[in-house]
Structure 1
Amino acid sequence: MSVVLMFIGSWIGYGPFFCSLLVILLIGYYWTWSRSRFVRLINALPGPDALPFLGNFMDLNVDHDEYLKIVHFDWIKKYGAIYRLWLGHPAVLISSPEFMEPILNSQKLISKAVEYRYLNPWLGNCMFLTTGSRWRNRRRLLTPAFHFQILNSFVDVFNEKSADCAREFTKAIEAHGDENEIDIFPMMTQCALDIICETSMGRQTRNETEKAIYVKNLHRIGQIVMERGIRPWLAFDWIYKLSSLGRENQRCVKALHTFTNQVIRDRREILKRKANCHTDMPKSSLNNNNVIFQDTQEFHPKERLAFLDLLIKASETNADFSDDDIREEVDTVMFAGHDTTASAMSFFLHCIAKYPEHQQLVLQEVDAVFGDSDRDCSVQDAAELKYLECCIKETLRLYPSVPAIMRCLTEDIEIGGYKLPSGTSVALMIHGMHHSPEVFPDPETFDPKRFLPENSIGRHPYAFVPFSAGPRNCIGQKYGMLEIKVVLANLMRRFRFSVSDPSAPLIIPSSEVVLKPKHGIPLILSKRSFGE
């Protein structure tokens, strides 16, 4: 004990010396670092003034909707289509299709930015986060699960769940009347959740209480990632794990993993029992990459396989594909496929409620395709709904579900007259680009006719990229568009949508990993019949 007391006493005596030494070392490190080639190249770009170590944290420590406004509008207007900011480490933000093209089109620049590693404790080395040969192998493994014949088999799920959503709309009208605004966002979120649960995990997915807890944790993970991303000191894992945010993240991850692991075990048991009972299952064959591929000759919609079933079957023929790998990909599909479609469908209904002239054109198209029948929407029906698709695309222009994507440069590249060094995080600002008057004239107006074929001629191929583009584009974009079209077509057949104040501006979204309405989507709902 006396030795310990002597050590403490000596430390107190030398405390001021060591503090001074630490300050000198930090100043020396910062002076050397700030004059490095990497920093000089980054600081050659325009951008907001940054504080030592904290960077632009003080500017961006704001609510999520204000954050979106600053980085996608204010700073783009002030500094241009390429600028830089600092949050402990630098990020270069790009908002023009010409500047995005060399990155999106590259077969080399496919590495995710370091910011995505904040999702690793939950999603591990899933296809969304990994790179190189592992990404290519995983993409090759999963692509058959999104084959059009399998996607088409999910249309009955889209129809069933949109009918459930329509019933919820009817109940809301009966409870609140058809003259009062109702927040449709929770109902659209539930619809998207029910669809992704059944198509990715199967009909027997746990109970509603467990699913609600799963989704609550899923949403919170997205918020935690955003909150960690703007706090430079939390980039250090050891500090993050000691923080309240890090501890909350661990609790969420544990709950999410527990849920998905149990679903996988249950699903394996169900498939095993079906095999033992010699039930009629769709025949499968292996493609050239030794991946399970559904035989389209004998595939029947009522015998559809969930995404999880296809992964389990793949694991039976691929020893390197473990249950942890299955869990990572299922969690990724839940994460990417639930919030994104809920957001897109909700913002769509908001836009057509604000612009009744476009809603009327959609209603006329829907009535022309379905007449006065109450039959389900087929794939062929969805293909005929051209103006509905234009309205969906215009919604995704105004409200892209993922407002930005990030890459880490693995080699130097010149963009916009600036040399960006290897190791730089580059943010492709989809939301900012979609709202740029240089890319889309009168960008704040909802104008679906922008996406008519004759009006799209000459537009840069990377001007509209709600699902990203190039080799790392969204593997589920066809699934997402088909789901959105079927659900919205069924709702438009049954309801009209309006707002209490047509003169009010469009809703300003909140920037999380997925774009969301900050205060819901309040709309007036009214039932309609054919021709109304």
Structure 2
Amino acid sequence: MFKTVAQFSELPPETPVHVVMEGIDLVLLRVGDEVALFESRCPHQGAMLHESAVNDGHIVCRAHGWAFDGVSGRCRHKPAVSLRAIPVRVTEGAVLADEDAVRALVLERRAGSATSADAAAARDEPAPMAIDDLPGPKGLPVIGNAHQIDPERLHVVMEDWQRRHGSFFKFKIMGQTAIAVAKPHLIRMVLRERPHNFRRIDTIEAVFEEMGAQGLFSVEGGVWKRQRKVVAQALNARQIRAFFPKLQEITGRLMRRWDRAAEQGGPVDVQADLMRYTVDVTSNLSFNYDMNTIEKEGDVIQQRLEYVFPMISRRVNSAFPYWRYFKLRRDRELDEALRELKVTIDDIIGLSRERLRRDGAESGPRNVIEAMLLIRDEQGALSNEDIFGNVFSLLIAGEDTTANTMVWILHFLSRRPDVFARLRQEADEVLGDNDILPDIETAGRLVYHDAVINEALRLKPVASVWPMGACADVVMDGVAVPAGTPVFLLTRVPTLLDPDGAPALEFDPERWLAKDRHAAHFDNVMVPFGAGPRLCPGRSLALLEIRAVMSMIARRLDLVPDPDGPPVGERFAFTLIPTHVRLIFSGRKAAAPVRADHEETV
């Protein structure tokens, strides 16, 4: 039986169109006079292909660049891999899809799910073991292991437990049993099987709701799907290309700020400066609002944002929600920061409302806020609270993750002059006489820059611990995991081992240029931007920001660690935040590269 899914005349050429049938996400694509319908999950790591771009008749996954023929579905570089196709036909101008084929796909996915308890029984496999039978650290009565967990050292505690108890273990917090996994295939499985089998841990949504800041970062289910579509459109390749001149302008502001620092010769808090940079980029692209925190001194929004994310992480990972009964000084400071942020964000929303009133809704949205203001559903317009939550989510997610990754890169470069010299050589060759990326195509030629970025993300991933939860009864490697069980993904553990299991702790970008099994191994086990349906929508923007800043530094400045600064450290607050990274900039010199006395390791 065939069902109408679109009108042929209304299909934009070579543009992915999202179709949902029987709860399955599909991507519809018109190439010339031909139409094809595929399952929207990339077979690599499950990213949604309807959020991707089409290039030369191929739909290109936004996660890792796998390209699939828009008619046959065959992978360009891996001919043995193809997208799952759903038969379609065009009748009297209508595009019809085979409903029976979609239902067969649904049954196949359920039967073949590695996490289905029913599927395991149907295959006559041994009864799964209980999670209580897993190894794990010893705890105390009632509180379990709660006393052993410091929220700001969560990654250290978890990784230590992994070394002692293996890559699949249990622990207990206030009577609730949780599990932690560091096996790459289980990490990928959890991320791919969202939202039907796994979701973010429940406390994330609860904490954001208490703060009045529910947005794309924290919501689940149908609400997430609706909001994701708006945000993904605002961060797609076309929007980023149109935004590029503004990115150049903001990068120029940072360049001038650091040129002045080089003239003064004192240590620079690069983390604070880079957070200013990422706030300015996010606010300009997503809200068409120029905060220009780089050129402002004193009280700026960035100072509020950098306080919020660590407090959210502390509450999410707290064994007891004490703040609901009494508030410490840091909780009162959080409340004050949220109030001030709401005033700023409400002003931004007000400007967007005024633009729509002035120009008319038919002019269409120019940014995320305007798109949300135009959304209508069964309950009417999105509330100011919904819009505030998404603006808030974009600001904190776009600020901390990208800025901290750049800080880690600069930390490694300051201690590896040989790597910095190679980076500079490439920047000179690719940028020519430009100090700032002249166009997006040039960014794609910075191959060694990408190797440096990948190596920093391998050693210091954006999120080294992912707090998730099972939302259905599942089986993981022969272990029955009941619905409601917290599942912590230790994503950094497998990235610190080479394919043979030997430690890979040295900062060595060369490993990404070898194109051998080692590079393939690390590419397969790394998930710095997530995987599956909830792959970070800002991935492309983040990588472009990092390339722009690193190439600018290579062209303009020399850098060394502050010899009088405290030791560099790290703390966990959703992201792996560097601490005490102080660098001294100077104007570029033509000095010969000198190998560091010791290798920089994690």
**TM-score scaled by length of structure 2:** 0.69
- Residue 339 (structure 1) aligned with residue 339 (structure 2): no
Match of 1:155 among 228, 233, 244: 244
- State the alpha-carbon separation in 2 of the partners of residues 388 and 510 from structure 1: 26
- State the alpha-carbon separation in 2 of the partners of residues 95 and 212 from structure 1: 41
Match of 1:312 among 367, 373, 385: 373
SS in 2 for 1:84: strand
- Superposed CA offset, 1:310-351 (max 9, x none): 433446999443332221111110010011111011111111
Shift of the 324–393 alpha-carbon distance from structure 1 to 2, 3 Å rule, reads same
Asked if structure 2 preserves the Cα contact closer than 8 Å seen for 1:402 and 1:514, the reply is yes
Match of 1:322 among 383, 386, 389: 383
Q: Structure 2 unaligned runs (5+)? A: 1-128, 593-602
User: Equivalences for 1:489-508 in 2 at 5 Å?
Assistant: 489-499=551-561, 507-508=568-569
The residue aligned with 1:32 is none
- State the alpha-carbon separation in 2 of the partners of residues 234 and 109 from structure 1: 26
- Residue 233 (structure 1) aligned with residue 320 (structure 2): yes
1:213, CA displacement in angstroms?
Answer: 5.2
- Superposed CA offset, 1:424-461 (max 9, x none): 11111223333345687542211112323613564276
Asked if structure 2 preserves the Cα contact closer than 8 Å seen for 1:363 and 1:493, the reply is yes
The residue aligned with 2:106 is none
- My pick for the range that moved more, 45-54 or 462-471, is 45-54
Asked if structure 1 preserves the Cα contact closer than 8 Å seen for 2:569 and 2:578, the reply is yes
- Residue 370 (structure 1) aligned with residue 454 (structure 2): no
The residue aligned with 2:203 is 115
- Residue 485 (structure 1) aligned with residue 547 (structure 2): yes
The residue aligned with 1:269 is 354
- State the alpha-carbon separation in 1 of the partners of residues 363 and 449 from structure 2: 36
Asked if structure 2 preserves the Cα contact closer than 8 Å seen for 1:206 and 1:263, the reply is no
Q: Taking every aligned residue pair, what percent have the same amino acid on both sides?
A: 23
- Residue 387 (structure 1) aligned with residue 448 (structure 2): yes
- Residue 70 (structure 1) aligned with residue 157 (structure 2): yes
- State the alpha-carbon separation in 1 of the partners of residues 368 and 590 from structure 2: 36
The residue aligned with 1:106 is 193
Whose strand proportion is higher, 1 or 2? 2
Asked if structure 1 preserves the Cα contact closer than 8 Å seen for 2:462 and 2:528, the reply is yes
- Residue 95 (structure 1) aligned with residue 155 (structure 2): no
Asked if structure 2 preserves the Cα contact closer than 8 Å seen for 1:467 and 1:474, the reply is yes
Amino acid at match of 2:327: S
- State the alpha-carbon separation in 2 of the partners of residues 494 and 265 from structure 1: 40
- Superposed CA offset, 1:154-187 (max 9, x none): 222222122211212122222226xxx5332222
- Residue 406 (structure 1) aligned with residue 467 (structure 2): yes
User: Equivalences for 1:34-45 in 2 at 5 Å?
Assistant: 41-45=130-134
- State the alpha-carbon separation in 2 of the partners of residues 360 and 417 from structure 1: 49
- Residue 523 (structure 1) aligned with residue 583 (structure 2): yes
- Residue 199 (structure 1) aligned with residue 285 (structure 2): yes
User: Equivalences for 1:414-425 in 2 at 5 Å?
Assistant: 414-425=475-486
Asked if structure 2 preserves the Cα contact closer than 8 Å seen for 1:184 and 1:523, the reply is yes
- My pick for the range that moved more, 482-491 or 135-144, is 135-144
- State the alpha-carbon separation in 2 of the partners of residues 353 and 375 from structure 1: 20
- State the alpha-carbon separation in 1 of the partners of residues 298 and 198 from structure 2: 33
The residue aligned with 1:6 is none
SS in 2 for 1:407: strand
User: Equivalences for 1:230-309 in 2 at 5 Å?
Assistant: 230-234=317-321, 240-244=324-328, 247-273=332-358, 275=359, 284=364, 305-309=366-370
The residue aligned with 2:220 is 131
Asked if structure 1 preserves the Cα contact closer than 8 Å seen for 2:374 and 2:381, the reply is no
Shift of the 171–355 alpha-carbon distance from structure 1 to 2, 3 Å rule, reads same
The residue aligned with 1:48 is 137
- Superposed CA offset, 1:413-434 (max 9, x none): 2223422221111111223333
- My pick for the range that moved more, 411-420 or 322-331, is 411-420
Amino acid at match of 1:412: D
**TM-score scaled by length of structure 1:** 0.77
- State the alpha-carbon separation in 1 of the partners of residues 464 and 239 from structure 2: 29
The residue aligned with 1:9 is none
Q: Structure 1 unaligned runs (5+)? A: 1-39, 285-291, 293-304
- State the alpha-carbon separation in 1 of the partners of residues 566 and 301 from structure 2: 34
The residue aligned with 1:427 is 488
1:226, CA displacement in angstroms?
Answer: 3.2
- Superposed CA offset, 1:469-498 (max 9, x none): 011111111111112112222222111223
- State the alpha-carbon separation in 2 of the partners of residues 70 and 126 from structure 1: 29
1:402, CA displacement in angstroms?
Answer: 2.2
The residue aligned with 1:20 is none
Amino acid at match of 2:220: T
Asked if structure 2 preserves the Cα contact closer than 8 Å seen for 1:409 and 1:426, the reply is yes
How many residue pairs end up in the alignment?
457
The residue aligned with 1:22 is none
1:390, CA displacement in angstroms?
Answer: 1.0
Structure scoring higher RCO (CA < 8 A, sep ≥ 6) equals 1
- Superposed CA offset, 1:239-271 (max 9, x none): 624333655544443333232122211232245
- Residue 189 (structure 1) aligned with residue 278 (structure 2): no
SS in 1 for 2:230: helix
Asked if structure 2 preserves the Cα contact closer than 8 Å seen for 1:433 and 1:439, the reply is no
Shift of the 453–243 alpha-carbon distance from structure 1 to 2, 3 Å rule, reads same
1:152, CA displacement in angstroms?
Answer: 1.4
Asked if structure 2 preserves the Cα contact closer than 8 Å seen for 1:434 and 1:463, the reply is yes
- State the alpha-carbon separation in 1 of the partners of residues 185 and 456 from structure 2: 23
SS in 2 for 1:445: coil
1:84, CA displacement in angstroms?
Answer: 2.0
- Superposed CA offset, 1:214-240 (max 9, x none): 4333333322233334542327xxx62
Amino acid at match of 2:202: V
1:149, CA displacement in angstroms?
Answer: 0.9
